[in-house]
């Protein structure tokens, strides 16, 4: 790792007459940015943990990147999304590089499925793995790109459809990787990514990759990310949910089906097919179909606490799928155990068998078990009820400095909720206010005449109110809903009653819908949770954000139920100590879509008037910025007329 000469400080960059004021074409001094940068600089230098809530417009990306660059240590920056990763690497780092004499040693790392596998691409030219004209056309795009790309990252291919099935056949996911035995190992994009990381001072990852790395290191496997001395988590409010996925367990019918298809593909490509292998794979498919059909048929998540009773009731079917996976592994060894490509397939068969036994027979009272059906998919899932002890032991006690930042970390101005949920103790905290004038730029409207959300009359009344608001805003709105059922119900009632273009989540990929919204005058987008955060639409195109209900987690959800039960067992009050803080953070995220610059103006609408009628509503108000507030629709009309 290079040792940079520490000739400057965060203050010399961000002060009113500092370096940033000379570099940035639209520079304006932001006291909060300087305050955050100095806090990050101090935490890294002194080996301390730090939580920073940085309001919208603070400039938090530069406020942590500059101290990280100056620290002369290897630092990981973990983001909530791949889009933010790319923004840091392709926008913020090049901007900073213009003003550093030495070459900045920075790289980014993504999950393996984002990268192409050269060997698969070369095999695809010789062997029959492509199906249909679309796959052939997509493959030609991939093949030409592979000849010139340096990273192998599919994000470089603007012309490749997001859901391309050809990409899935040539990506570098680890399930089929032969590692150092591969003929292309030295030219492998994954190998090259890891080389760049070892040579870098700043490594930009996303939360999913970070916790995947943390999980495999605990199993004594080689890690993905090189050793580091500090980590910065951007969008840190997501950590509990993401970390839980990687310290949990998941088995699905798709995993079994993918294993079967990959074995068939290898057998076809390498001419290894035999009648016996065909019989084994047909048996595996049949055993999988019968086993996963034993679980509840309704879509959604269902708690699963009766594992012993399930085994007793379906013992024969359960033993059949275990035996089918065992026989599949044996068959792979018999027909071609010396072939490198077989090793990962054999390992997958054994891992699926072990995970299935662990899911149904393992003893782990501190885990919550559930079943999830999504269309044809059946997923058996288990995650820790309380992730904090794991994060304390494996992350916060081992990494000298962890910086957690987001625009939404505090509840009612304090960080106690997040500190407890994540198990981060002895942390410094800082709350940096947004430089925006929310009382001048925005108006929060809560109509008082609507029934409560649980009232059967609410959907019709809410839709009528939305129509009135959209007519005042001339469209230009997000309608953010707390469930797909609510989204569809409101969309169906509203879309035919307004003259503005109406978009609906699920009708196109998220990125395409967002671009369509930005480029369609007066558009209205109905959406759910995936549009509550990480979406940035500046200017008049988005002038209104309407939220249907306070975003309380569904109490019957198995994970929520298990975590509220745990709070109760520990002497807490689940609604006060878990559900309200979680909902307050989510509401801040949803409302945060509206005001993204000093020139933005708009109306925030919450159709759920419990915020004004229940005592707990004050916690939400204390957590939100200081918006101008009204309960009168006439004030909304006045606001829009004034800001035309």
Write out pLDDT tens, residues 117-174.
898 888 877 766 677 788 888 888 999 999 999 999 988 888 887 778 888 888 887 7
Given pLDDT bands bounded at 50, 70 and 90, which one contains residue 561? very high
Lowest mean pLDDT among 164-173, 195-204, 245-254, 490-499: 164-173
**Domains by residue range for the chain, with CATH:** 10-105+200-244+387-432 (3.40.50.300), 112-189 (no CATH), 249-384 (1.10.275.40), 438-642 (3.40.50.300)
The token pair at 18 is 């500092």
- Pairing, β 230-234 against β 75-79: parallel
Q: What is the 3-state secondary structure (H, E, C) of 457-476?
A: CHHHHHHHHHHHHHHHHCCC
Q: What is the mean pLDDT of residues 501-522?
A: 88
**What is the percent of the chain with per-residue pLDDT over 90, rounded to a whole number?**
59
Find the mean pLDDT for residues 317-324. 96
Task: Report in angstroms the alpha-carbon separations of 55 from 61, 83, 123, 309.
Answer: 12, 20, 50, 50
With 60 as the cut, is the pLDDT of residue 6 above it? no
The pair of three-digit structure tokens given for residue 425, joined into one six-digit string:
């103790």
**171 touches 154 (CB < 8 A):** yes
**Cβ count near 181 (within 10 Å):** 11
Q: What is the pLDDT of residue 4?
A: 38
pLDDT(271) > 80: no
Tokens, residue 126: 């010789």
**What does the mean pLDDT of the chain come to?**
89
């Amino acid at each position: 790792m290079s040792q940079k000469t520490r000739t400057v400080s965060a203050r010399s960059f961000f002060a009113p007459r500092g370096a940033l004021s000379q570099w940035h074409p639209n520079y304006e001094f932001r006291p909060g940015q300087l305050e955050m940068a100095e806090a990050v600089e101090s935490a890294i230098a002194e080996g301390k943990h730090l939580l920073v809530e940085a309001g919208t417009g603070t400039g938090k990306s530069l406020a942590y990147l500059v101290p990280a660059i100056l620290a002369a240590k290897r630092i990981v920056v973990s983001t909530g999304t791949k889009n933010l990763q790319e923004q840091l690497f392709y926008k913020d780092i090049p901007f900073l590089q213009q003003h550093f004499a030495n070459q900045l040693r920075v790289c980014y790392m993504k999950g393996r499925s984002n990268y192409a596998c050269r060997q698969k691409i070369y095999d695809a030219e010789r062997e029959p793995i492509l199906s249909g004209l679309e796959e052939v056309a997509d493959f030609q795009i991939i093949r030409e790109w592979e000849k010139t790309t340096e990273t192998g990252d599919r994000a470089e291919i603007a012309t490749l459809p997001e859901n391309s099935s050809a990409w899935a056949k040539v990506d570098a996911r680890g399930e089929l990787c032969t590692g150092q035995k591969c003929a292309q190992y030295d030219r492998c994009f994954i190998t090259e990514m890891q080389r760049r990381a070892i040579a870098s001072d700043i490594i930009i990852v996303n939360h999913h990759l970070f916790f995947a790395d943390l999980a495999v290191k605990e199993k004594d496997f080689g890690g993905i990310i090189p050793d580091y001395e500090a980590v910065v988590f951007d969008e840190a409010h997501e950590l509990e949910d993401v970390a839980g996925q990687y310290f949990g367990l998941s088995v699905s019918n798709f995993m079994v089906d993918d294993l079967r298809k990959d074995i068939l593909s290898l057998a076809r490509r390498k001419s290894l097919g035999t009648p016996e292998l065909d019989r084994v794979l047909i048996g595996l498919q049949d055993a999988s179909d019968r086993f996963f059909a034993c679980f509840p048929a309704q879509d959604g998540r269902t708690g699963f606490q009766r594992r012993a009773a399930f085994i007793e009731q379906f013992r024969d079917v359960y033993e059949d799928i275990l035996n089918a996976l065992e026989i599949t592994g044996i068959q792979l060894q018999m027909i071609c155990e010396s072939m490198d490509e077989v090793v990962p397939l054999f390992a997958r068969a054994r891992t699926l068998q072990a995970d299935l036994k662990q899911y149904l027979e393992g003893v782990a009272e501190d885990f919550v078990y559930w079943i999830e059906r999504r269309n044809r998919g059946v997923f058996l899932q288990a995650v820790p009820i309380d992730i904090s002890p794991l994060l304390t032991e494996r992350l916060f006690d081992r990494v000298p400095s962890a910086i957690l930042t987001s625009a939404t970390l505090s509840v009612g101005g304090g960080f106690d909720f997040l500190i407890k949920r994540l198990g981060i103790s002895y942390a410094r905290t800082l709350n940096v206010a947004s430089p925006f004038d929310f009382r001048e730029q925005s108006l929060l409207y809560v109509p008082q005449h609507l029934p409560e959300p649980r009232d059967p009359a609410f959907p019709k009344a809410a839709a009528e109110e939305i129509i009135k608001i959209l007519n005042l805003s001339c469209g230009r709105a997000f309608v953010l809903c707390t469930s797909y059922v609510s989204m569809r119900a409101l969309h169906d009632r509203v879309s035919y009653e307004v003259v503005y273009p109406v978009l609906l989540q699920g009708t196109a990929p998220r990125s395409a819908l967002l671009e369509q919204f930005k480029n369609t005058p007066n558009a209205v987008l109905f959406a759910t949770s995936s549009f509550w955060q990480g979406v940035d639409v500046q200017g008049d195109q988005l002038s209104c954000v309407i939220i249907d209900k306070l975003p309380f987690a569904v109490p019957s959800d198995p994970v929520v139920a298990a975590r509220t039960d745990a709070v109760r067992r520990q002497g807490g009050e689940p609604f006060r100590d878990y559900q309200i803080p979680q909902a307050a953070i989510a509401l801040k995220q949803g409302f945060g879509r509206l005001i993204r610059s000093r020139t933005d103006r708009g109306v925030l609408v919450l159709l759920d008037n419990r915020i004004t009628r229940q005592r707990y509503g004050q916690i939400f108000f204390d957590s939100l910025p200081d918006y101008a507030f009204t309960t009168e629709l006439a004030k909304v009309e006045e606001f829009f007329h004034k800001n035309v």
